[in-house]
Structure 1
Amino acid sequence: MSHTVFINRQALYLRPDPTRVVVRSFKPATEPRDLNPTDKTRANHILERILALPEEVAAGLLAEVLENFQGRHRNLLETFEARAKEMENALFNHPDVSPVQRQLVGAYFLHEYSFEASALFNPSIVAHPDQSGAPEGGRRFIISLRAVGEGHVSSLTFRAGSIAPDGVVTIDPTARLAAIPRVRSWTTGPDGDAVEVVFKAEEDLSERVIFPITPAQSNGIEDARFVEFKENGKSLYYATYTAYNGKAIRSELLETSDFMSFRLSPMRGAATYNKGMALFPRKINGRYAMIARQDNENLYLIYSDDLRRWEGGTPILGPQYPWEFVQIGNCGSPIEMKEGWLLLTHGVGAVRKYTIGAVLLDKDDPSRVLARSHEPLVRPDPSEREGYVPNVVYTCGAMRFNDQIILPYAVSDTFSNFATIKILKLLEMMKAV
């Protein structure tokens, strides 16, 4: 069956924009707050030079900084003050520091970071918790995206949009500004650090950037697979993602109800030391369920009574067709339909070409594979082969809307696009197992 029969690419490109920047802590040498106040390091020297400035010179320099950067960020003076507060230990021996000097100190220990300068990819999509403003007969949605900037550090960013009744997708305009959240709480436990972060109400959804916070995430929050989880008539949004510290990976869990405040916490258990975990959107037979990749050869079904502990599992799917001989993995949380659970998969074939396929799992017993696609649903077309990683199409989650699957997908680890898939045609092309 021709792909044009049921796959409709929308040419709605989300490309990285290097002009969008956030301000982050700048840490020359060792962070001053970690030092003995009597130590003399580069950071201490910078601090002493700033505090040695006459008050009028410091005021003029602060005004110059504000004029230069004010239009690029919200509430810069507040941001400078917050950074100075983080350095209280370093400022302890300087009790007569004026407000101007404190704000200038904060400015010198910050820097701009272009968080999506290199890539904007691996999207995931869920229904928006606020459906006001949705087109009649349509739906509002939120997509998450993996943004990559300097040093190949990955963060999490968002966009909102709408689906019309006919399946046409539109994306809301992207805000020019961007911001990282305030850390509301930080808890250190035996399994690692858990943090709660919150954005300001005036910050548009597309302004919100969740940058790595804990040591386990220091080099990236990667490939968030969002799902709207329903239990007892209520919805919460969870995302499993890969935390990367430059050497090791592990799966962690994000949760939110409003996409304004978020909790990020480690998961534990043998199954969490791999990538690509995806949570089912509801409990199955009273237990949480997850699709996971543990050995690159098979996809596993795992049950747990504890949302944060995942052990073992049963292999349910392995490479079968040439386009997935090298590797198979999931492409987001399973989608519930009357026919069963639709699980999108990725396969890696010759010359490391990534494509997207599909599997149908039994609704009551997802370990039973009912059908699977013998050909890819989406493969890189000629305009989608070039990028940071050539010959790759990939997604971290799709959404059902009426008789279609709305599929945001990444192109060559560089930018993202959308496709729609007719469910009936998709089921017709899948082979029974």
Structure 2
Amino acid sequence: MRRASPGRTVLRPFIPAENPFAAEGATASREGDVIARIQSLPVAEVKRELARIERRLAHRHDNVAAVLDRRFHEVVPPDEDGGTLDPVRRRLIGAYFSEEYSFEAAALFNPSIVAHPEQKGVEPGELRFLMSLRAVGEGHVSSIIFQSGIIAKGGAITLDPPSERAVSPQIELVPGGTPDDPGLRLSFGDTDDLSAIVIFPFTWHRRHGLEDLRLTPFTDDDCQTVHLGTYTAVGGETIRQEVLRTTDFRTFELQALGGKYAPTKGMALFPRRLDGYYAMLGRQDHENIWLLRSSDLYHWESGAAIIRPRWPWEFIQIGNCGAPLEIDEGWLVLTHGVGAVRNYCIGACLLDRDDPSKLLARTRSPILTPSSRARNGYVPNVVYSCGGLVHGRTLILPYGIADTLTTFASLSIDELLATMA
């Protein structure tokens, strides 16, 4: 079981709000005012203040000086610096436009899980895994974090302790999107502990959170595998689907999806092309599971509903709980159903491997329901997952409880299929 830890923080950008009563046509900004005040300080005071800040931050963050230097260059364009500011004063300016953010202070839930890219040292029959989690901090803002662990030969699951320190990424723009909405490349260096990585909202279009990453190892026609994950970007009154791409879980590219089916939640990518097309499951009408196809990973215009609510526990809506899992019998899809009193339960269905628009079987009753402990939390009466993992003939299912914490269930695939009709 994994609970939120308020003591885990990351250094992220901070910009003070503008003055709503500034004179019309005024060119001064709050940032400019702050920088001017720092420039007015004597050198000795600048050094003293910076030493105090770095000393305080060093207890919880690595590479503090580099992060503050980088933040200065994000705030002050090169043509405005003019080479007049000394390195110590630049670093202090960077500190004033940074903040510590407790990224999992409120909750930690909605996990997905994949095999860890590094299996060195794992005993036969065991599997090291990497789990993504939705971490919620101040203002109900969601970030994406990771946690590793081991599935033992006998099925016991052990989580590695999360890093006490988080890494702030280097951020670059990448081709794609529009001039005011480009893609992003996030580089976290060569950190060995992937639990130190925090992907928090960086841009206006994502300012209210990155939610519910659904990871899958995607193998393309050239047999090369990358990890792709769809997630919901929340930008104030708007939401949309975006895709995360990584080959090593240290460098990530984030790109918005386009097309009429992209402004939604909960899309999950199949782990390979189907008949030459990318394929997704989604809930475009907020009620049914849809199958979408596209020749372009980043643009989605074609789809239709394939699974509709049937049982009382899913009468409000049915959706996926992560990327489809390929087994001998077909595509195993974990589902969520919403019923009376907005209870969220988890079920499953089986789709035809060659034609996933064909529903072969589904669970009549949920496989996981909100128990007495799942009724209380940030959002009561909810169990939810963003993806499971097949290990042998066992389904490893991490899931969130009451949008508060995360735990695990293990199910025999043979027994699960036997419950389907």
Relative to the length of structure 2, the TM-score reads: 0.94
Distance 1:51 1:184 in 2: 28
- Which deviations, in whole Å up to 9, do the C-alpha atoms of 1:378-423 show, x marking residues without a partner? 0111122110000100000001001100000000111100110111
The structure, 1 or 2, with the larger RCO (C-alpha pairs under 8 Å, 6+ apart) is: 1
What residue is the counterpart of 1:259 in the other structure? Answer: 249
Residue 267 of structure 1 deviates from its aligned partner by 1.2
What residue is the counterpart of 2:194 in the other structure? Answer: 205
Residue 187 of structure 1 deviates from its aligned partner by 3.5
Residue 357 of structure 1 deviates from its aligned partner by 0.4
How do 1:164-183 and structure 2 match up within 5 A? 164-183=152-171
Distance 1:67 1:91 in 2: 31
The amino acid that maps onto 1:365 is D
What residue is the counterpart of 1:9 in the other structure? Answer: none
Count of residue pairs the alignment pairs up: 414
Residue 247 of structure 2 corresponds to residue 248 of structure 1: no
Distance 1:90 1:107 in 2: 18
8 Å CA contact 1:180–1:211 kept in 2: the answer is no
Distance 1:247 1:104, change over 3 A: same
Secondary structure, in 3 states, of the residue corresponding to 2:416?
A: helix
- Which deviations, in whole Å up to 9, do the C-alpha atoms of 1:219-273 show, x marking residues without a partner? 1111110001113332111001111101101111111111111111111111111
The amino acid that maps onto 2:151 is I
Residue 219 of structure 2 corresponds to residue 230 of structure 1: yes
8 Å CA contact 1:236–1:257 kept in 2: the answer is yes
Secondary structure, in 3 states, of the residue corresponding to 2:261?
A: helix
Match of 1:326 among 295, 316, 323: 316
Residue 203 of structure 2 corresponds to residue 214 of structure 1: yes
8 Å CA contact 2:267–2:282 kept in 1: the answer is yes
- Which deviations, in whole Å up to 9, do the C-alpha atoms of 1:9-38 show, x marking residues without a partner? xxxx1111110001111211349xxxxxx8
Distance 1:48 1:62 in 2: 16
Residue 41 of structure 1 deviates from its aligned partner by 3.6
Distance 1:58 1:136, change over 3 A: same
Distance 1:425 1:188, change over 3 A: closer
Moved more, 406-415 or 194-203: 194-203
What residue is the counterpart of 1:145 in the other structure? Answer: 133
8 Å CA contact 1:135–1:162 kept in 2: the answer is no
Residue 70 of structure 1 deviates from its aligned partner by 1.2
Residue 188 of structure 1 deviates from its aligned partner by 5.5
Secondary structure, in 3 states, of the residue corresponding to 1:382?
A: coil
Distance 1:194 1:54 in 2: 41
Match of 2:292 among 295, 298, 302: 302
Residue 183 of structure 2 corresponds to residue 194 of structure 1: yes
Match of 1:106 among 94, 97, 112: 94
Match of 1:117 among 91, 105, 108: 105
Residue 147 of structure 1 deviates from its aligned partner by 0.8
Distance 1:26 1:283 in 2: 41
Residue 331 of structure 2 corresponds to residue 338 of structure 1: no
Moved more, 110-119 or 185-194: 185-194
C-alpha RMSD of matched pairs (Å): 1.9
Residue 94 of structure 1 deviates from its aligned partner by 7.0
The amino acid that maps onto 1:239 is G
- Which deviations, in whole Å up to 9, do the C-alpha atoms of 1:103-158 show, x marking residues without a partner? 11111111111011111110000111121122321111111011111111111100
Secondary structure, in 3 states, of the residue corresponding to 2:265?
A: coil
Residue 408 of structure 2 corresponds to residue 424 of structure 1: no
How do 1:14-163 and structure 2 match up within 5 A? 14-30=2-18, 39-89=27-77, 92=80, 95-163=83-151
Relative to the length of structure 1, the TM-score reads: 0.92
Distance 2:397 2:418 in 1: 18
The amino acid that maps onto 1:123 is P
Secondary structure, in 3 states, of the residue corresponding to 1:313?
A: strand
Distance 2:327 2:80 in 1: 61
Unaligned 5+ segments in structure 1 are 1-12, 32-37
Distance 1:234 1:42, change over 3 A: closer
The amino acid that maps onto 1:370 is L
Residue 361 of structure 1 deviates from its aligned partner by 0.7
Distance 1:377 1:27 in 2: 46
Residue 276 of structure 1 deviates from its aligned partner by 0.9
Distance 1:107 1:91 in 2: 21
The amino acid that maps onto 2:40 is A
Residue 282 of structure 2 corresponds to residue 284 of structure 1: no
Unaligned 5+ segments in structure 2 are 20-25
Residue 45 of structure 1 deviates from its aligned partner by 2.4
Moved more, 127-136 or 41-50: 41-50
Residue 91 of structure 1 deviates from its aligned partner by 8.5
Residue 215 of structure 1 deviates from its aligned partner by 2.3
Distance 2:332 2:233 in 1: 26
Residue 288 of structure 1 deviates from its aligned partner by 1.5
What residue is the counterpart of 2:344 in the other structure? Answer: 354
Distance 1:42 1:215, change over 3 A: closer
8 Å CA contact 1:18–1:115 kept in 2: the answer is yes
Residue 54 of structure 1 deviates from its aligned partner by 1.0
